[in-house]
A and B are shown apart, each in its own frame.
Chain A
């Protein structure tokens, strides 16, 4: 199968590319960022997904499947730019899929789109609307992209679209949202709160995305591995020190005193859990994580 991966230079996407090549697929990659030591079997195009050269890749290479991982998640990028890439880019890619006869697409989103709130059910299922945008405006573009990707299921029914809502991951690349939250030696917690965090090993996450491509999934799926653990345990097991900070002071210490930077609205994600139910994904793919939460966190500590 000929598979196009957008955002291929990202840590998770590289792993997916390796896995697909190893299983005998032909992989084409698009990214604004370079991938200097691109492995054999991967055809790399350095381009912006919203620009003409990206469309040219669709036209000339005619891939069978698209794995869309070109979303910006770090908050240093401005809101307008994030909307342009995350929502505008997603829309363009689906239009190309329709125009150039790509039969399958996988949108890799994240579980934070559900939003963290004390009065929502602990295990989110796919039929729940993603509510993160209401309380956390920096996530609104990702929520919109997630919903847009979902709408491809009825907009272009001939494309088998899978929207994956992936939980946090940790791994040797030290990339991802949770890894950057744990990047400093001290982790800011909110005093009196200790939510459950759901994480999986980076390699399991790569495997899950690869499975979604190979099983030709159709629909919206939560992707998670082992059961969740409290944030205090995540902090301790990864060898960090959690510093409880009274809620009114929380936003003023972020980015200072050796704490990582987070947007103000992110506080809800440090107070309340976001936990997803992965039953549908497991049933559809037979996915089984190879690493437990303990192995994942301790591995992150030592590598």
Chain B
């Protein structure tokens, strides 16, 4: 244990329903030590910088497979990082969210190792199926890179969804938990993209925000989890059936997003939104 380790993170990671071997690795290369090391600074940002409040944590199962489907909000991954952190910091049922990583990251040095140690595998349908069959919690962003690269003027409008996640959920019999992230688009308002630089680094896009650095503004953010949705099928359904299911998830996410937007007193909110749990105690 090092000085920088966060106590709550360490305790909750010990409670994760994941089998670790003698060296603290799981069968996909996830490392307990790396989790504590990475989530400790994230927990600090979560509490004190982005001041995240999570609603609907009771919908996250204590164990067993689940697929969290979230919107992208802000182009630099703060949304994903805070969603993952909210799952780890949930004292009632700490879970590790495992994402599907962008291809270009998994072939680059250091990033590939870091992603693997934190449980994020290359975005292949097989990987999603392995994780769910191993009773893990997988987090997907069906908007993909197009959603992450949303400009400020298009904030909180969902772009076209991929349908792969729904086939995966049906094939593995996994409940879908819709999720909305609010605040990312104000924390990192993307004014425009530098296209030539994106081509140069072979990345999906290079956004520019008023702060000019790749770090979010200290805007208070919220995460909303919705009621788990169960769908009937085995993943071999025709496209129109899948599309209909996807639209149901999309509608549910739009509902959560508008609830979240209405709940904010103003868009650029710098005070933490009251915690639902603290509310009831008052």
**Which residue numbers of A lie inside 8 Å of B, CB to CB?**
118-119, 121-123, 190-194, 196, 226-230, 233, 237, 247, 273, 292-294
4 closest A-B pairs by beta carbon, nearest first, are A192-B109, A121-B126, A227-B27, A118-B107
- Among A121, A191, A228, point to the contact of B109 (Cβ < 8 A): A191
- Whether B113 lies near A229 (C-beta < 8 A) is no
Which chain A residue has the least Cβ–Cβ distance from B107? A118
- Whether A122 lies near B121 (C-beta < 8 A) is yes
Q: How far is the CA of A174 from the CA of B126 in the complex (A)?
A: 35
Interface hits, B83-142 → A, CB 8 Å:
103, 106-110, 112-113, 116, 121-122, 124, 126-127, 130
- Whether B109 lies near A119 (C-beta < 8 A) is no
- Whether A192 lies near B27 (C-beta < 8 A) is no
Q: How far is the CA of A155 from the CA of B124 in the complex (A)?
A: 34
Which chain B residue has the least Cβ–Cβ distance from A233? B23
Overall SS of chain A's interface: loop
Across-interface contacts of A121 in B (CB, < 8 A): 124, 126-127, 130
Across-interface contacts of A237 in B (CB, < 8 A): 23
- Among B22, B29, B110, B127, point to the contact of A230 (Cβ < 8 A): B29
- Whether B25 lies near A233 (C-beta < 8 A) is yes
Given A294-B21, A294-B23, 5 other A-B residues pairs in contact with their CB atoms under 8 A:
A118-B107, A119-B107, A193-B109, A230-B31, A294-B22
**Candidate in A118, A122, A233 with the most chain B CB atoms within 10 angstroms:** A122
Given A227-B27, A229-B25, A233-B23; A193-B113 close (CB under 8 Å): yes
Q: How far is the CB of B108 from chain A (nearest CB, A)?
A: 8
Contact mask for chain B residues 189-214; partner A; CB cutoff 8 A; 1 contact, 0 none = 00000000000000000000000000
- Whether B112 lies near A118 (C-beta < 8 A) is yes
Which chain B residue has the least Cβ–Cβ distance from A117? B107
B28 within 8 A of A: yes
Q: How far is the CA of A123 from the CA of B127 in the complex (A)?
A: 8
Q: How far is the CA of A219 from the CA of B31 in the complex (A)?
A: 35
Q: How far is the CA of A273 from the CA of B23 in the complex (A)?
A: 18
- Among A191, A193, A292, A294, point to the contact of B112 (Cβ < 8 A): A193
Q: How far is the CA of A230 from the CA of B29 in the complex (A)?
A: 7
- Among B107, B113, B121, point to the contact of A194 (Cβ < 8 A): B113
Across-interface contacts of B112 in A (CB, < 8 A): 118, 192-193
Q: Offer 29 A-B interface pairs, CB within 8 angstroms, sorted by A.
A: A118-B112, A118-B122, A119-B103, A119-B106, A121-B127, A122-B28, A122-B29, A122-B121, A122-B127, A190-B109, A191-B109, A192-B108, A192-B112, A193-B109, A193-B112, A194-B113, A194-B116, A196-B29, A227-B21, A227-B25, A227-B27, A228-B27, A229-B21, A229-B23, A233-B25, A237-B23, A273-B29, A292-B22, A294-B22
